[in-house]
């Protein structure tokens, strides 16, 4: 049954079954029928233009001039391009409705990582985006892309979107405060050394019962930063087949260490909100010395926290062990081409133009501090420009140097659920520490092991309800 017939059938059944109901229900049914007819008229009439959906005003501003240029070069049967700005939630809902209902969507859609897992549920052949793997390889693009940046958009080795970014993470810190205290924070090659170097700054000169400066802005309620740190330390939440691997000793050791930074009477981390006015004031006041900083966070501070301009520096993250990984990754966006498009060729060409053009990459860095995932563009002089906000460091080159070492990430539809379970595990362990007069590191680790076993079971139960995961509840 085609989409139009399905909608007509649904409307007919609704009207027949509700003929004896109240006026209020009839009003709802009438509105349903009207909206169905509107949807029918829209779905039966293909769009004359190529549609592209984006969720970022900055992306839209960058793409618009190039799209105008592409349209000026349009020949033959190529369609004009309509660029639409929608919220992340609207893009997710419209795209999912299109895929599940067989209705038209846009021809090009940007999807943020927090939502991508929902499109990868079910069998691989049911994924609503075109598999771009062979096309990427045939045109030599696959090897040009920073390899780890493909992982969130790939399932079983097949890639369903072009990566928009890399988002490596560095440590941003108040260099004005550390240098005036005679502390060279670049010597902090491990987290243990980092906290040891900053101990002298944890004095309480104003006698308010809190350190004048916490070493790190980090708290166990911040699930994105928990995931970031665990990825840095080599944590794996799912294996390559999508089977959950939450309850491992590596994960337990990492989570126990992160919790230890926040637990006890003298925590090393503090809870500073990343996007509120109160959090920005804390940054200006120097409540914390250092922050976990993906490349895009730099632009957030430039826009909203000008009071720390010229006081910050960035450096590679301290490693969990000497010689370990000194970066991580947070966030990300892909550009996908739905199978519903009737103009795959033009959609592909447009996607490649937008995501590989030097001028777009240059504007992306200048506008929002994001480095391109296309390795051939990394020698652009824009990345070597000194940044006054960060004491004239060439931070673009510093992010690029770390880009190949960002962790591989799972594209599991259950990854976000797993991260939330780990956050809840950390909160439960934190509550346990508050109820103890004293506790040891071994006791803390045992509590974490128990909580990760609980989290593993919770995810397995969720996945067992999906016949396509191959996971059985224990």
Using one digit for the tens of pLDDT, what is the confidence trace for 275-300? Answer: 999 999 999 999 999 999 999 999 99
Secondary structure element (H or E) that encloses residue 380, with its range = none
Confidence of residue 204 (pLDDT cuts 50, 70, 90): confident
Q: Is 205 a residue whose pLDDT tops 70?
A: yes
Mean pLDDT, the chain, integer: 89
Instruction: Give the residue among 88, 113, 109 at the shortest CA–CA distance from 330.
Output: 113
- Residue 156 is encoded by which pair of tokens? 């079983």
Q: What is the pLDDT of residues 303-350, one digit of tens each?
A: 999 999 999 999 999 999 999 999 999 999 999 999 999 999 999 999
Looking at residue 170, what is its pLDDT?
98
Question: Range with the lowest mean pLDDT among 38-42, 174-178, 221-225?
Answer: 38-42
Instruction: Go through the domains of the chain in sequence order and give each one's CATH number.
Output: 50-163+332-384 (3.40.190.10), 169-329+406-464 (3.40.190.10)
For residues 211 and 197, what is the distance between their CA atoms, to the nearest angstrom? 15
Looking at residue 47, what is its pLDDT?
55
Instruction: Give the residue among 462, 397, 452 at the shortest CA–CA distance from 429.
Output: 452
CB atoms within 10 A of CB 229: 23
Q: What is the pLDDT of residues 10-44, one digit of tens each?
A: 444 344 344 444 444 334 434 334 344 334 444 44
| Partners of 374 in beta bridges | 145
The strand ranges marked E within 43-96 are 50-54, 81-85
Q: What is the pTM of this model?
A: 0.87
Q: What is the pLDDT of residues 397-418, one digit of tens each?
A: 999 999 999 999 999 999 999 9
Give DSSP secondary structure letters for 261-283.
HH-SSS-SEE---SSSHHHHHHH
Radius of gyration over every alpha carbon of the chain, rounded to an integer in angstroms: 25
For residues 289 and 216, what is the distance between their CA atoms, to the nearest angstrom? 6
Secondary structure element (H or E) that encloses residue 115, with its range = helix 113-116
Determine the 3-state secondary structure of 346 from DSSP.
helix
413 close to 118: Cβ distance less than 8 angstroms: yes
| Partners of 336 in beta bridges | 109
CB atoms within 10 A of CB 29: 17
Angle between helices 57-72 and 358-368 (to 10 degrees): 160
């Amino acid at each position: 049954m085609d989409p139009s017939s399905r909608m007509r059938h649904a409307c007919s059944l609704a009207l027949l079954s509700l003929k004896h109901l109240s006026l209020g229900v009839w009003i709802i049914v009438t509105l349903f029928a009207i909206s169905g007819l509107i949807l029918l008229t829209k779905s039966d009439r293909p769009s004359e233009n190529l549609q592209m959906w984006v969720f970022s005003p900055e992306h839209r501003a960058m793409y618009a001039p190039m799209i105008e240029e592409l349209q000026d070069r349009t020949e033959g049967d190529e369609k004009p391009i309509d660029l639409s700005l929608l919220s992340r939630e609207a893009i997710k809902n419209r795209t999912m409705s299109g895929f599940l209902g067989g209705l038209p969507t846009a021809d090009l859609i940007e999807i943020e990582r927090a939502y991508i897992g929902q499109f990868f549920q079910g069998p691989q052949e049911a994924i609503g985006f075109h598999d771009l793997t062979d096309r990427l390889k045939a045109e030599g693009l696959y090897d040009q892309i920073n390899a780890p940046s493909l992982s969130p958009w790939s399932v079983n080795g097949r890639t369903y979107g072009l990566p928009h970014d890399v988002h490596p993470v560095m440590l941003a810190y108040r260099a004005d405060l550390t240098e005036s205290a005679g502390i060279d924070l670049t010597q902090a090659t491990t987290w243990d050394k980092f906290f040891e170097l900053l101990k002298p700054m944890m004095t309480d000169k104003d006698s308010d019962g809190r350190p004048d400066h916490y070493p790190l802005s980090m708290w166990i309620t911040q699930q994105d930063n928990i995931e970031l740190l665990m990825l840095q330390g080599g944590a794996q939440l799912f294996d390559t087949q999508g089977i959950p691997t939450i309850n491992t000793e590596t994960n337990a050791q990492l989570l126990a260490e992160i919790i230890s930074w926040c637990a006890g009477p003298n925590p090393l981390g503090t809870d500073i909100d990343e996007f509120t006015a109160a959090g920005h004031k804390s940054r200006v006041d120097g409540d914390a010395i250092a922050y976990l900083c993906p490349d895009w966070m730099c632009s957030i501070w430039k826009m909203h926290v000008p009071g720390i301009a010229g006081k910050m520096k960035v450096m590679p993250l301290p490693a969990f062990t000497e010689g370990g990984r000194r970066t991580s990754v947070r966030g990300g966006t892909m550009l996908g081409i739905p199978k519903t498009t009737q103009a795959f060729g033009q959609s592909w060409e447009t996607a490649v133009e937008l995501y590989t053009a030097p001028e777009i990459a240059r504007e992306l860095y200048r506008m929002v501090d994001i480095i391109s995932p296309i390795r051939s563009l990394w020698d652009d002089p824009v990345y070597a420009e000194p940044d006054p906000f960060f004491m004239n460091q060439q931070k673009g080159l510093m992010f690029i140097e770390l880009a190949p070492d960002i962790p591989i990430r799972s594209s599991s539809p259950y990854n976000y659920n797993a991260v939330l379970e780990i956050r809840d595990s950390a909160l439960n362990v934190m509550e346990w520490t508050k109820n103890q007069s004293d506790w040891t590191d071994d006791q803390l680790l045992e509590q974490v092991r128990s909580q990760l076993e609980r989290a593993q079971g919770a995810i397995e139960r969720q996945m067992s309800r999906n016949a396509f995961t191959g996971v059985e509840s224990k």
